[in-house]
Amino acid sequence: MSMAQTVGSDRSPTVPRLRLCGITKRFPGVVANRDVSLEVHGGEVLAILGENGAGKSTLMNVVSGMLQPESGSIEVDGKPVRIRNPADARKLGIGMVYQHFALVPTLTVAENLALGASGTRIFSNTRRIAEQVTGLSRAYHLEVDPHAVVGDLSVGTRQRVEIVKLLFRGAEILIFDEPTSVLTPVEWHHLVRILRNLAAEGHSIIFITHKLDELMQVADRCTVLRHGEVAGTVSVAATDKAQLARMTVGREILFQVSTKAARPGRVVVAAEGLTMRSDDGRPRLDGVSFELREGEILGVAGVDGNGQRELARVLTGLDAATGGRFRFGDEWRTSIQPIDFYRRGGAYIPEDRHHTSVALELSVRDNLLMKELALGRMQRGGVVSERAADEYCTTLMQEFDVRAPSPRVRIRQLSGGNQQKVVLARELSRTPQLLIAAQPTRGLDVGAAEFVMRRLVAEKERGCAILMISTELEEVLQLSDRVAVMVDGRFLAVLDRQDATYERLGLLLGGEAVDDLGGELTEVDA
């Protein structure tokens, strides 16, 4: 078990740690990777950038043994290897951190690691494993307590547990596929430090992201994929965001979306002291009051898990409030049926794509149609009107640039960003009166994110009232007319656009360390 000693120091520094040559991977109807070659050296962080559906995840799944390429070869430390399954990849020291963590929430960190360890019996070795975890954690500043129960840990900590798991299994090539969308700024900076640390110790890191700022902070080099092919590789020091964006989507990206000041009309939705307690009696939502008017965007800024989800779920009818009231339309109420929310002109983009907003096993078409059908549209006498439905789907897929071989494929087969585009298309197609959008640009490439932000502004200027929930301050600041800061289930403050600055929001969110990279990091778990 390599602890903190430099990894692979016995190897020649000129031979890349991992090298892909001419990898081609097809799926029915698409070539996900075409003749892709790239290399990663020891001690390096390589970022992979590319449009939604460019083939990034597919390529990493080839490297980690989940998928078999049609052609191409892989070399590790100069030696050709075959990676037939994840176990092969593990033996070669390749490990992947997924967005959805593969940890058992009811077990402790050490027990989770014992589960995966080969040739060990569960429980018998947890003591030894715990010691190793402590060692690894100290060596790389991971701050993971081996005896903590995984279910109690924050998202950021769980991610670090995943890293410990990989290191524990001897991984020297670590792959991160869009790891940061659920991290707080503090957690992100912690992660950057860890990654730089790991690289300094000789590990190789592959990092997929759509966020150029993050990429610039963490990566040494960047390989850009377009339509499954390598569009180029650049050194991060010698490039800037604009160039990276151009390489990714093939056009200029304006990082600033222009938006006119709001001309708010009548109140569309209002809440008074909305409260929701979970079963254990803890308030998840604690007296939230606000008014949202036609033609205005109210941004809700906050760290994930501070009641944003509950707020959206109460307003859209998925959960009932336990106290307070709200109105959407005329009457005050404590709950609403989801169908009534839509009938009144509501639209909702939930943040957890796989649990709420899409049914993975159903087709893209079914996923686009679900709310239309629930609303009684696109049907006659209880039978789906195939022609109207097909037309609707084709139009939306074109408008939102959803890349799928056909509307009939399972949505599971679409890339993450394209799944998100399906959700956006479905909600925006109804010209809503009220839009509740949680993390609307999560997983989107820079081009698609820009498109969506423009659409949100256009909807607002049309008169739609938008409640935009986001953990990304830049996004909130760019689009919102007013910004609510949400902490512990409450609106700590509601600021007008001109008063809402990045620094001020950071302070209100209790993240003093937001732009203090070198600062002492404290454990962020409760």
Partner 1 sequence: MNTEQLRESVLSVALAVAATITGVLLSMLLVQATGHDAGAAARALWDGAFGSRRQIYLTAARMPALILVALGWIVAFRSRKVNLGLEGQVIIGGIFATLVAVEGPSLPSVPAIALSCIVAMIAAAVYAAIAAVLWAKRGVNEIVSTLMLTFIARQIVEWVVRGPMKAPGKASFQSKLIPGAFRWPELANGTPFSADAILSLVAVAAMVFLINRTVFGFKLRLTGENDECSRHAGVSTVRVVVLGFLLSGALAGLAGAGLVLGGERHMLTSGFTGNVGFTGIVVALVARNSPIGSVPAALLFAALATGGGVMQARADVPSEIVFITQGVIVVLVACSGLLVRALHARRVDANEDTPPRVQPGLASVADAT
How far lies 476's CA from each of 6, 210, 480, 485, 505, in Å? 42, 17, 6, 10, 10
Q: What's 383-419 look like in SS3?
A: EECHHHHHHHHHHHHHHCCCCCCCCCCEHHHCCHHHH
Give the Cβ contact number of residue 332 at 10 Å. 13
Interaction with ligand ATP in 235-274: which residues (CB under 6 A)? none
Q: Among the candidate windows 115-123, 124-132, 356-364, 509-517, which touches partner 1 by CB under 8 A? A: 356-364
> Interface with Mg ion includes 93 (CB under 5 A)?
no
Q: Which does 54 bind (CB under 5 to 8 A by kind): partner 1, Mg ion, ligand ATP, none?
A: ligand ATP
> Interface with Mg ion includes 295 (CB under 5 A)?
no
Shortest spacing between CB 524 and partner 1, in angstroms: 10
* Nearer Cβ to ligand ATP (286/445): 445
Interface characters, 154-173, with partner 1 (x: CB under 8 A): xx--x---------------
* Nearer Cβ to ligand ATP (165/210): 210
Place of tokens 């989507």: 249
CA 384 to chain centre: 34
Distance (Å, whole) CA 386 – CA 392: 10
Question: Which of 299, 317, 416, 432 touches Mg ion (CB under 5 A)?
Answer: 416
Question: Which of 33, 57, 154, 480 touches Mg ion (CB under 5 A)?
Answer: 57
Interaction with ligand ATP in 397-416: which residues (CB under 6 A)? 403, 413-416
Cβ(505)–Cβ(301) below 8 Å? yes
* Nearer Cβ to ligand ATP (264/440): 440
Q: Which does 55 bind (CB under 5 to 8 A by kind): partner 1, Mg ion, ligand ATP, none?
A: ligand ATP
* Nearer Cβ to ligand ATP (54/103): 54
Helix (H) or strand (E) holding 467: strand 465-470
Distance (Å, whole) CA 374 – CA 392: 15
Amino acid at 147: H
> Interface with Mg ion includes 64 (CB under 5 A)?
no
Q: Which does 200 bind (CB under 5 to 8 A by kind): partner 1, Mg ion, ligand ATP, none?
A: none
**Long-range contacts, stretch 227-235, CB < 8 angstroms, 24+ apart:** 227/34, 227/51, 227/54, 227/55, 228/30, 228/31, 228/32, 228/33, 228/34, 228/36, 228/54, 228/55, 229/33, 229/34, 229/35, 229/36, 230/36, 230/37, 230/38, 231/50, 233/38
* Nearer Cβ to ligand ATP (27/98): 27
Interface characters, 175-204, with partner 1 (x: CB under 8 A): --xx---x----------------------
**What is residue 327's three-state secondary structure?**
strand
Distance (Å, whole) CA 300 – CA 468: 6
Cβ(253)–Cβ(450) below 8 Å? yes
> Interface with Mg ion includes 126 (CB under 5 A)?
no
Closest CA to 183 of 225, 137, 214, 207: 214
Question: Which of 105, 116, 265, 519 touches partner 1 (CB under 8 A)?
Answer: 105
User: By beta-carbon distance, which residue lies closest to ligand ATP?
Assistant: 417
What is the pairing mode between strands 465-470 and 490-496? unpaired
Shortest spacing between CB 46 and ligand ATP, in angstroms: 15
> Interface with ligand ATP includes 417 (CB under 6 A)?
yes
Both tokens of 495, joined, read: 């600021």
- Counting residues that bind Mg ion (by CB under 5 A) gives 3
Amino acid at 135: G
Shortest spacing between CB 6 and partner 1, in angstroms: 30
Q: Which does 53 bind (CB under 5 to 8 A by kind): ligand ATP, Mg ion, partner 1, none?
A: ligand ATP
Question: Which of 252, 330, 386, 503 touches partner 1 (CB under 8 A)?
Answer: 386
Interaction with partner 1 in 277-306: which residues (CB under 8 A)? 304-305
Q: Among the candidate windows 11-19, 288-296, 375-383, 481-489, which touches partner 1 by CB under 8 A? A: 375-383
Q: Which positions touch ligand ATP (CB under 6 A)?
A: 27, 30, 32, 50, 52-58, 403, 413-418, 445
